[in-house]
A and B are shown apart, each in its own frame.
Chain A
Amino acid sequence: MAATTGSGVKVPQLEEGQKGVGDGTVSWGLEDDKDMTLTRWTGMIIGPPRTIYENRIYSLKIECGPKYPKAPPFVRFVTKINMNGINSSNGVVDPRAVSVPAKWQNSYSIKVVLQELRRRMMSKENMKLPQPPEGQCYSN
């Protein structure tokens, strides 16, 4: 039941992720195409230009819990990143620090999460933080 109510939102999201959204800078899709529960997603954020993240590709894992979309998903960076609100040892996005998970609304979606994270990359406080070398991933 929870899966079906969840999937009501997720299937359109799946299609949207496959069709590509707006400016081509975030991408997401099911981690496993055969996942019928539509809970595990991978996401990708392309680092915005004119920031230190520019031209880099950040890979994320997103897990939609059973209460999604009423509850925010767990988001975790796979690629190493240095940014406020992201745990530097395992890449978990702190749900209290990042506004989209913190002030989650039913209408939010994975796309919103990714775009919000990308927006934070462009914020003054983050855009110049020194980054680890490209291509490194968190160990877990």
Chain B
Amino acid sequence: MAENGESSGPPRPSRGPAAAQGSAAAPAEPKIIKVTVKTPKEKEEFAVPENSSVQQFKEAISKRFKSQTDQLVLIFAGKILKDQDTLIQHGIHDGLTVHLVIKSQNRPQGQSTQPSNAAGTNATSASTPRSNSTPISTNSNPFGLGSLGGLAGLSSLGLSSTNFSELQSQMQQQLMASPEMMIQIMENPFVQSMLSNPDLMRQLIMANPQMQQLIQRNPEISHLLNNPDIMRQTLEIARNPAMMQEMMRNQDLALSNLESIPGGYNALRRMYTDIQEPMLNAAQEQFGGNPFASVGSSSSSGEGTQPSRTENRDPLPNPWAPPPATQSSATTSTTTSTGSGSGNSSSNATGNTVAAANYVASIFSTPGMQSLLQQITENPQLIQNMLSAPYMRSMMQSLSQNPDLAAQMQNPDTLSAMSNPRAMQALMQIQQGLQTLATEAPGLIPSFTPGVGAPGSTGSGGPTGPTVSSAAPSETTSPTSESGPNQQFIQQMVQALAGANAPQLPNPEVRFQQQLEQLNAMGFLNREANLQALIATGGDINAAIERLLGSQPS
């Protein structure tokens, strides 16, 4: 009986555990909850089983965020979630948000991956030069007692978890205090090998919060840093003081070359002030110097000599905002070389060139041009090539003679169109089409635009070019009033290009007959391609050959 009673009893508790097991079996199909994981930059949703541990959660996260699990720190409701906890333990339910911090610095990991160095000091001082061979002994040499004492002092604070940028900044402070130490360090082959690794240096630089700030403000600098050639060059410069001087001299040369571009000099100076100053501040901490530092001083000294050449600009008709004196003086020198010599026309041309200068300056301020300029200044050869390209020259000419066009160019819309490479290509195609039309069917042209028709019909030599394009502005006023701004721009652009090339148009084949024969003899049998190449290069055989060779293998 009692047994009966008892036997009836147990089934209930056994059912209890059975039921408990039933519910314990339920986790075999655990409830999946959706948890949002938010970093300062991103937000992702994760579906995980309710009872998973934080460790498992981190593994899922690490795949999505492409980091390692030990880089991840999860925070919920103000508490850091430890790996061995479970999500339920912290009360993370469906639909809630967990914050994520990804420790991006790999320096502490560099420390942890050098287990051979047991002591904290050794670990951090080894991670500093980032090399595996004999870190300790070479460290004591260049760094000297002062900084080693500093390092030792740091180690007493439990250095193994120190933020690397902190360590770095402290080291730098000590380094800056003693230039001899700097020199010693620079000459240490160790440090040089570290410096010669551009990736490493880039990481180091990026770790500096000021540089990060700088990069945010100026995407150019991130391009600069990401370009390994430039990095390598800069690092070599920093390593070698003699080379630094040479580099500075090169840059002075490049600058003086750029002076001849109307307005370019000024724009360049502005650009450098934007980039050079913050780089100076940031880079000073890194290398104790800035290869660009002298540029600022040289440009200012260059500036000092400019005003002496300034002409009196008052009587000039100048509807646009008057550019600074330096620009006009720079453009004056250009004008005398390009435009006609008489007094009136030179003053006119100066006014126009000034407008052209404005245009050029504003073009130069587009970001694309800025990066281009940067590369240019590092390679003066490039400038020469660019300047000597015939179409550039003709474009400058036509610009200087066509103030309307210059005004049009200043329109920001047109600037954006100009910087769009496809738009430029389209324009080039239009120009080429017009050229071919002008040769094949001159009668057809007047239907396009009266301005373009004029060069097609007259064109017999150089002198007609300027007169034609000066006739063009008067004609542009009529189509201008009719068509929209975009079409205006295109028409004027095309006229300028066509007008500039008009003298060559009527007899491209005749003019290039000689070159064509030469090309034929060399084996370039595609007459059309030859002709195009010759037109594009203005009759320069070598350049035409290069163009042809560039297009043939493709």
Which residues of A does B touch, CB under 8 Å?
A: 17-20, 23-25, 27-31, 33, 41-44, 46, 49-52, 54-57, 59-60, 130-136
Q: How far is the CA of A41 from the CA of B170 in the complex (A)?
A: 36
Interface status of B315 (Cβ within 8 A of chain A): no
Interface status of B39 (Cβ within 8 A of chain A): yes
Q: How far is the CA of A30 from the CA of B38 in the complex (A)?
A: 20
Instruction: Judge whether B98 and A20 touch: CB under 8 Å.
Output: yes
Q: How far is the CA of A78 from the CA of B257 in the complex (A)?
A: 60
B93-129 residues with Cβ-Cβ distance < 8 A to A are 95-101, 103-105
Instruction: Judge whether B96 and A19 touch: CB under 8 Å.
Output: yes
Interface of B is mostly: mixed
Residues of B within 8 A of A130 (CB): 166, 170
Instruction: Judge whether A46 and B99 touch: CB under 8 Å.
Output: yes
Nearest Cβ on chain B to A53's Cβ, whole angstroms: 10
Q: How far is the CA of A108 from the CA of B79 in the complex (A)?
A: 22
Interface status of B78 (Cβ within 8 A of chain A): yes
Q: Closest B-chain residue to A56, C-beta based?
A: B163
Interface status of B463 (Cβ within 8 A of chain A): no
Q: Indicate which residue in A19, A23, A131, A133 contacts B40 across the interface (CB closer than 8 Å).
A: A23
Interface status of B366 (Cβ within 8 A of chain A): no
Q: How far is the CA of A126 from the CA of B162 in the complex (A)?
A: 19
- With A50-B213, A56-B163, A59-B80 given, is the CB distance from A24 to B38 under 8 Å? yes
Subset of 26 A-B contacts with CB under 8 Å: A17-B77, A17-B78, A18-B77, A20-B96, A20-B97, A20-B98, A24-B38, A24-B40, A25-B99, A27-B75, A27-B76, A29-B77, A29-B79, A42-B79, A43-B78, A44-B75, A46-B101, A55-B103, A55-B104, A57-B73, A57-B75, A130-B170, A131-B163, A133-B157, A133-B161, A133-B166
Interface status of B515 (Cβ within 8 A of chain A): no
User: Size band of the B side of the interface?
Assistant: 35 or more
From B76, B157, B170, B212, residue with most partner A Cβ within 10 Å = B76
Q: Indicate which residue in B80, B91, B105, B158 contacts A57 across the interface (CB closer than 8 Å).
A: B80
- With A46-B101, A57-B75 given, is the CB distance from A18 to B91 under 8 Å? yes
Instruction: Judge whether A18 and B163 touch: CB under 8 Å.
Output: no
Instruction: Judge whether A51 and B38 touch: CB under 8 Å.
Output: no
Instruction: Judge whether B38 and A44 touch: CB under 8 Å.
Output: no
Q: Indicate which residue in B78, B98, B99, B158 contacts A60 across the interface (CB closer than 8 Å).
A: B78
Q: How far is the CA of A2 from the CA of B206 in the complex (A)?
A: 51
Q: How far is the CA of A135 from the CA of B507 in the complex (A)?
A: 80
Nearest Cβ on chain B to A94's Cβ, whole angstroms: 21
Nearest Cβ on chain A to B81's Cβ, whole angstroms: 11
Interface status of B61 (Cβ within 8 A of chain A): no
Interface status of B209 (Cβ within 8 A of chain A): yes
Nearest Cβ on chain B to A100's Cβ, whole angstroms: 17
Residues of A within 8 A of B170 (CB): 130
Residues of B within 8 A of A29 (CB): 76-79
Instruction: Judge whether A18 and B96 touch: CB under 8 Å.
Output: yes
Interface status of B216 (Cβ within 8 A of chain A): yes
Q: How far is the CA of A49 from the CA of B211 in the complex (A)?
A: 12
Q: How far is the CA of A29 from the CA of B80 in the complex (A)?
A: 11
Q: How far is the CA of A103 from the CA of B49 in the complex (A)?
A: 45
Interface status of B360 (Cβ within 8 A of chain A): no
Q: How far is the CA of A4 from the CA of B104 in the complex (A)?
A: 44
Interface status of B196 (Cβ within 8 A of chain A): no
Residues of B within 8 A of A28 (CB): 77-78
Q: Closest A-chain residue to B92, C-beta based?
A: A18
Which 5 residue pairs are nearest across A and B when measured between Cβ atoms?
A29-B77, A20-B97, A24-B38, A42-B78, A28-B78
Q: How far is the CA of A42 from the CA of B73 in the complex (A)?
A: 16
Instruction: Judge whether A20 and B157 touch: CB under 8 Å.
Output: no
Interface status of B496 (Cβ within 8 A of chain A): no
Interface status of B36 (Cβ within 8 A of chain A): yes
Instruction: Judge whether A49 and B77 touch: CB under 8 Å.
Output: no
Instruction: Judge whether B40 and A49 touch: CB under 8 Å.
Output: yes
Nearest Cβ on chain B to A114's Cβ, whole angstroms: 9
Nearest Cβ on chain B to A98's Cβ, whole angstroms: 18
Q: How far is the CA of A89 from the CA of B551 in the complex (A)?
A: 73
Residues of B within 8 A of A59 (CB): 78-80
Nearest Cβ on chain A to B101's Cβ, whole angstroms: 5
Instruction: Judge whether A44 and B79 touch: CB under 8 Å.
Output: yes
Instruction: Judge whether A18 and B76 touch: CB under 8 Å.
Output: yes
Nearest Cβ on chain B to A97's Cβ, whole angstroms: 23
Residues of B within 8 A of A136 (CB): 158
Nearest Cβ on chain A to B427's Cβ, whole angstroms: 42
Q: Closest B-chain residue to A61, C-beta based?
A: B78
Residues of B within 8 A of A30 (CB): 77
Residues of A within 8 A of B100 (CB): 24
Q: Closest B-chain residue to A46, C-beta based?
A: B101
Q: How far is the CA of A134 from the CA of B36 in the complex (A)?
A: 27
Residues of B within 8 A of A131 (CB): 163, 166
Residues of B within 8 A of A25 (CB): 40, 99
Q: Indicate which residue in A19, A49, A52, A133 contacts B212 across the interface (CB closer than 8 Å).
A: A49
Instruction: Judge whether B38 and A20 touch: CB under 8 Å.
Output: yes
Interface status of B43 (Cβ within 8 A of chain A): yes
Instruction: Judge whether B97 and A51 touch: CB under 8 Å.
Output: no
Residues 208-219 of chain B, each 1 if its beta carbon lies under 8 Å from chain A, else 0: 010011001000
